[in-house]
Amino acid sequence: MKRIFEILKDRKNTDTVIAAVTETEGSVPGKTGAYMLVGREGRIYGTVGGGKLEHAAILKAQELLHKKENMVCLFDTADIGTVCGGKVEMLFYYADKELADKGTAAYDSGKPFWLMLPLGKGRAFVSYSVDSSGYRFKDSKYYYEKFNYDGMVYVFGGGHISQETVPLLKRTGFRVTVIDDREEYADRSLFADAENVICMDYGSIDIDINENDYIAIMTRGHMGDYECEKFALGTAACYIGVVGSRAKTEYINERLKAEGIDEKQLERVTAPIGIDIGSRTPAEIAVSICAQLIKVRAEKIKNN
């Protein structure tokens, strides 16, 4: 979503509508949370599923563009001639440069914020004060969606796998902090996509991590992994993953058990990290890690 705000800021013609998939039912191409930016010239950025559904959404967005209106629309795929059977609810809202400026600033603040969208005529605006534990909902007057609610991915280790993983995490909407105990690897020039790059001894990690944060451990050896995993298990992180062989995992687990960490605590750790796709190279491993974090994030959203 931040990328959409950035594109809006750069557009000279600010007449733009954002289309967002809010609910789906059945077998449909669009997925909840998908976004598309539409101008008078057609689709500018993003996708809500492609094909006939997306074409219908573009036409609806352009219709609303002239009226400068916001609307929730339900598309039945049978009515638009697709072979899949299902329904897609989409939210369309007029977006101007003021919204782009405020949305980008809200993202940059690092604080969770809500986008409040009047149904019908009215300007969308940013709010920090909506009281809700969910991520999106609507009432008779407004549609509400929360952003910046997700936590930070803390990547321990600045080696080859991290250097492949961090840009991919950034492109898929994660905020990233990289930590390494070596100055030459805790180097901003290696991690332009990270929000923070920190040089810190693994034996004395001092970082506040909450239940929305993720931990990905990929240090250069057994000792670094052990120290970082021991720290991670003392946090409320929603995800802990460790790169490494099963033999290394067993070695670290036995050492942690000897220090009083029980099996139930160790079950919080995903090792080896990532989804099993037969990955071998650092770039392939990065894809598997990112895919797993996307899945964890999606389950968090679904459960709220």
Given its phi and psi angles, is residue 163 left (phi above 0), alpha (psi -120 to 50 degrees) or beta?
alpha
Strand partners, 3: none
In the chain, the N- to C-terminal Cα span, in Å, equals 19
| pTM of the entire predicted model | 0.73
* Cα–Cα distance measured from residue 31 to residue 49, given in angstroms and rounded to the nearest whole number: 7
Q: SS3 for 185? A: coil
Half-sphere exposure of 138 (CA within 13 A, CB side): 15
User: Looking at residue 83, what is its pLDDT?
Assistant: 65
Domain ranges of the chain: 2-147, 152-302
pLDDT in tens, the chain (304 residues): 778 888 888 886 668 999 999 888 887 776 778 899 999 889 999 998 888 889 999 999 999 988 888 889 998 877 776 766 788 899 999 888 888 889 889 888 878 899 999 988 888 889 998 888 778 888 888 999 888 878 899 999 999 999 999 999 998 889 899 999 999 999 999 999 998 999 999 999 999 998 989 999 999 988 999 999 999 999 999 999 999 878 888 889 999 999 899 889 999 999 999 999 999 899 999 999 999 999 999 888 777 6
Say if residue 191 is exposed, middle or buried (CB neighbours under 10 Å; 0-12, 13-18, 19+): buried
SS3 of residue 43 by DSSP: strand
- The secondary structure of 214-267 as a DSSP string is EEEE--SSHHHHHHHHHHHTTS--SEEEE-S-HHHHHHHHHHHHHTT--HHHHT
pLDDT for res 189:
95
What pLDDT is stored for residue 81 in this prediction? 67
Per-residue pLDDT, 242: 94
How far apart CA 147 and CA 167 sit, in angstroms, is 20
pLDDT for 240 equals: 97
Give the whole-angstrom CA distance, residue 120 versus residue 122: 7
* Two tokens, residue 68: 């400068």
3-state secondary structure (DSSP) of residue 303: coil
* CATH entry, 152-302, from 3.20.20.70, 3.30.420.40, 3.40.50.300, 3.40.50.720: 3.40.50.720
Count of C-beta atoms within a 10 Å radius of residue 283: 14
Task: Write the burial class of residue 230 (CB in 10 Å: 0-12 exposed, 13-18 middle, 19+ buried).
Answer: middle
Strand, helix or coil for residue 175 = strand
- Pairing type for strands 35-39 and 16-26 reads antiparallel
Give the helix ranges, DSSP H, for the chain. 2-10, 51-67, 97-109, 160-171, 222-232, 246-258, 263-266, 282-302
pLDDT at position 60 is 93
